[in-house]
Amino acid sequence: MPEDKQVLQLKEKLSNIFEKKYVFLVGRATTGIYLALKAMKIKDGNVVMPDILCPSPADAVLYNDLKPKFCDVNLYDFNMNIESLNEVINKKTKAIIPVHLFGQPSEIDKIEQMAEEKNLFVIEDVAQAFGGSYKGTKLGSFGDVSVLSFGGKTIKASDGGAVITDDDKIAKKIGEYITKLPKRPKNLEYIFKIYRRYFYTILTATL
């Protein structure tokens, strides 16, 4: 099914901003991380991320039957502590997900260098730092894959996200897998509304 004009315009805009060849729009950033890990064909291992973050990256790791592994953060910016990152990486580590928390950039150059030395993938989570930069380079331009969020962090667009990459093989696989994702139900907001009502009712009743 051909993409509509607005989708194509947004993909072209993001491609130009981050100077990446491939852009895929997804329902949310969690889906983007899930697709990136799946496209990397990672099996039976762990993925390292900071221990202060939204739970979504860890969810995406679990969805791929992998294990989240957490490193300490710096007290001054709550991003990955490089020394701790080096300590928690082991033989089963397959990828690193640096999260630029609260709009502050991680030391992504050091993370990339460590990943290269240890032959690990890097998935840059830019959900909370869209528009930021590190040493003059736009956040979202690093790693094997970068994932953006439009769900109310730095951009308020209700929902959605994007996966961007220059890697031909990873892009090909993401393109294949994205067509197999379930379609968004037309009554999704209603389903969430009912879920939230019952969840909070049950939770309140048990406290």
Domain extents for the chain? Answer: 5-206
Could you tell me what percent of the chain has a pLDDT over 70?
A: 92
- Paired sense of beta strands 93-96 and 67-71, if any: unpaired
| CB distance 29 to 58 below 8 Å | no
- pTM value? 0.86
- What is the separation of C-alpha 154 from the centre of its chain, rounded to a whole number of angstroms? 15
Output the tens digit of pLDDT for each of the chain's 207 residues.
567 888 899 899 999 999 999 999 998 889 999 999 999 998 889 999 999 988 889 999 999 999 999 999 999 999 999 999 999 999 999 999 999 999 899 999 999 999 999 999 999 999 999 889 999 999 999 999 999 988 766 665 657 889 999 999 999 999 999 988 877 777 877 887 887 787 777 655 554
CA distance 67 to 48: 9
Is domain 5-206 given the CATH code 3.30.460.80 in the classification?
no
Question: Under 8 Å CB-to-CB from 148, ≥6 apart: which residues?
Answer: 14, 29, 32, 126, 127, 130, 140, 161, 162, 163, 164
Question: Under 8 Å CB-to-CB from 149, ≥6 apart: which residues?
Answer: 28, 29, 126, 127, 128, 130, 155, 160, 161
